[in-house]
Structure 1
Amino acid sequence: MSDRQPCEISWFSALCDDDYEFLGQPDPMLQSSWEHCRDIVMQAETGGFDNILLPSGYALGIDSTAFAAGIAPLLKRIRLLLAIRVGEMWPPQLARQIATIDRMLGGRLAINIISSDMPGETLASAPRYARTVEAMHILKTLLNGQPLDHDGEFWKLKVDPPRVGTLSGKAPQLYFGGLSEDAREAAAKGCDVYLMWPDKQEAVAAIIADIKARAAKHGRTLRFGYRAHVIVRETEAAARTAADRLLSRLDAETGAAIRAKSLDSTSTGVAAQAALREGASDDGYAEPNLWTGVGRARSGCGAAIVGDPDQVLAKLESYRAMGIDAFILSGYPHAAEADLFARHVLPRIDHGPLG
């Protein structure tokens, strides 16, 4: 028997207009709305997932914080991983919102920190991530119930914590990702769970080792998460056919336009996803069961674990052996793929919320 802790298995609710039957072909029935995104979350809770990411974008879709507050009373068990664009928020107000939603959920809230610009602003990488580190410090201090006396470059605040804190009295776990030098240092200084996009296993191992070493210099230890799409079917051939079908109505120009439109289209992480895709085999596989075709029609996380239930399970277990503690999975369409994963793979994984 393994002495490993259970891993966290999360799904994804497409708040940023990222749901399709055919990539690159918008479907009005799958566009972000309260009803559609609510149904994905309810599907994930029914299926047994531990957590669900509520993504956030300024231009696309619907607001993650408002959505989290709206859906909290409907949920009985699943956690919410609420994405927050810190460049758009005043941290003391954000701390109060987080504490309120955490109580509405019975203490089942985690936060995905996004190192965003303000809408209409473009800040260079180093100061933008420095601002993110400040934001994480402010949030943790206030949500741990401590008075704040902060004299930073971006915020100068002397304020008591809000009267209403989280149910536990502690700050929720902060998930955060980014591959640039500035992002890695920000993660080492401030987050609790470092998130990665798909890559070859040797690259994943190298990133984990690097972030661990950086965190140790600050006297900290982190946990690690892996964000990927997944396509699981009863046979590998059926899974590959489903992957091919997903791209069957995409032309190269449309895919390039979608990628260029993204707010993060020039980031280090997006460049790494492009390199992974360009280095893949002719059928799009960067390594066994890791298919890069998704990245032809979206920026950001651009690869999927594709295979039969045994293959998908083995892939996830190999990541666990490397030190991954949490998975944030998704598929197209999101509700249908959540059901397939919940039936074929989830019962076979030792999983539970990150403690």
Structure 2
Amino acid sequence: MSWFSALCDDDYEFLGQPDPQLASSYEHCRNIVLTADRYGFDNVLLPSGYALGIDNAAFAAALAPQTSMRMLLAVRCGELVVPQLARQIATLDQMMNGRLTINIISSDIPGETLDSEPRYRRSTEIMYALRELLDGRAVDFHGDFVDLEVEPPRIRTVSGSSPLFYFGGLSPAARECAAAGADVFLMWPDTTDKMLEVKADMDARAAAKGRSLRYGWRSHVVVRETEAEARAAATRLLSKLDAETGEAIRSKSLDSKSAGVARQAELREGADDEGYAERHLWTGVGRARSGAGTAIVGDPDQVLAKIHELTDAGIESFILSGYPHAAECDLFARHVLPHIDHGRLEFTPDAVNVA
């Protein structure tokens, strides 16, 4: 069970209404992480942007000695050359005593635009070379984007092997990339039947490469003592948002035209008048952010039941968030987290790394 620290200026009391007290800063984001740590979450996602927020690698280094939980560091493929990235990851893992996990991000990097297929091919090559170096093996690889003949860095992770790679994406190219190089396929919220359809496809793609995947769910959550209170809190989040502001926020993201974002838009368009795609699956958050735009909404028993429904369907890792992030972390931790049998997602070294 993981929480989210809003390093990319994504914290609000009212969606689309910036609040200086909630803007990304070291102190504000540190407070979110320490709140999640105090409540016993297993991991925290540290997102990465360019135009928005603060640098997540520097932030992770600063927080390493202050926390006991894992950190899920988002890495944007192409922003650092692979050997330097391997050194950085190994160093951070040493600072965290083996608590680092990696979220591979395949969106465009600042100043460039690549079509989906070559962008994911670049990510596949980077994941392959990065894992080889982190596993302590020399790389002799000559691809379209990675051209390396290099020994692994002297510094190694605490385990001596690569941290878990989380990865998400819905386009055919993204799915092939995940099947080739990811450990955990991270899904944005969807109806359970659609999620099972994607999972079956990913199982087949990974098996064809001699690999297996585990599955994660990245969504928001709104939990209150009653369902009526939860729905009212969700409605309140949107009470000061206009369509033009929401569109401007969504368009700032470098992944705003991805297949995953398009699917979140489909869910919003097919939802009822209050924005619910299913009784407890609310699409309103996506009106003011790109990426995961749906929340589990309900009373503690209903939220817990939805999480159990997803775990029964094969989800092993949850990355949750809410608005404001520290306050919703407190609510979820008091009302739901104590009723979940959870712990760190551990690596199972049964997958072959395929470039």
The alignment's TM-score, normalised by the length of structure 1, stands at 0.96
Aligned counterpart, 1:99:
90
Q: Distance in 2 between matches of 1:116 and 1:275?
A: 20
* Deviation for aligned residue 1:302: 0.6
Deviations 1:8-52 (A, max 9, x none): x00000000000000000001101001111110000000110000
Q: Distance in 2 between matches of 1:282 and 1:54?
A: 33
Aligned counterpart, 2:216:
225
Mapped pair 1:293 → 2:281: no
Deviations 1:118-160 (A, max 9, x none): 3101111111111100110011100001111111111211111
Q: Secondary structure at the match of 1:58?
A: coil
Mapped pair 1:19 → 2:11: yes
Aligned counterpart, 1:124:
115
Alignment of 1:1-355 (within 5 A): 9-75=1-67, 77-355=68-346
Deviations 1:309-342 (A, max 9, x none): 0000000000001100100000000000001101
Q: Distance in 1 between matches of 2:98 and 2:256?
A: 35
Equivalent residue letter for 1:256: E
* Deviation for aligned residue 1:261: 2.6
* Deviation for aligned residue 1:112: 0.2
Q: Distance in 2 between matches of 1:196 and 1:63?
A: 24
Identical-residue share of aligned pairs (%): 68
Q: Secondary structure at the match of 1:253?
A: helix
Q: Secondary structure at the match of 2:78?
A: helix
CA contact (8 A) 1:88 1:117 kept: no
Where in structure 2 are there 5+ consecutive unaligned residues? 347-355
* Deviation for aligned residue 1:296: 1.0
Question: How large is the Cα RMSD of the aligned pairs?
Answer: 0.8
Change (3 A) 1:264 1:116: closer
* Deviation for aligned residue 1:262: 2.1
Q: Distance in 1 between matches of 2:138 and 2:243?
A: 53
- Worse overlay, 26-35 or 145-154: 145-154
Aligned counterpart, 1:5:
none
Q: Distance in 2 between matches of 1:163 and 1:263?
A: 34
CA contact (8 A) 1:15 1:56 kept: yes
How many residues end up aligned between the 2 structures? 346
* Deviation for aligned residue 1:227: 0.3
Q: Distance in 1 between matches of 2:118 and 2:279?
A: 39
Q: Distance in 1 between matches of 2:135 and 2:183?
A: 14
Q: Distance in 2 between matches of 1:260 and 1:14?
A: 18
Q: Distance in 2 between matches of 1:138 and 1:344?
A: 43
Q: Distance in 1 between matches of 2:84 and 2:337?
A: 37
Tell me which stretches of 4 or more aligned residues in structure 1 moved more than 3 Å. Answer: none
Q: Distance in 1 between matches of 2:6 and 2:206?
A: 31
Q: Secondary structure at the match of 1:38?
A: helix
Q: Distance in 2 between matches of 1:124 and 1:276?
A: 24
CA contact (8 A) 2:108 2:255 kept: no
* Deviation for aligned residue 1:256: 1.9
CA contact (8 A) 2:78 2:109 kept: yes
Deviations 1:143-189 (A, max 9, x none): 00111111111121111111110000010000000011100000000
Where in structure 1 are there 5+ consecutive unaligned residues? 1-8
Q: Secondary structure at the match of 1:87?
A: coil
* Deviation for aligned residue 1:288: 1.6
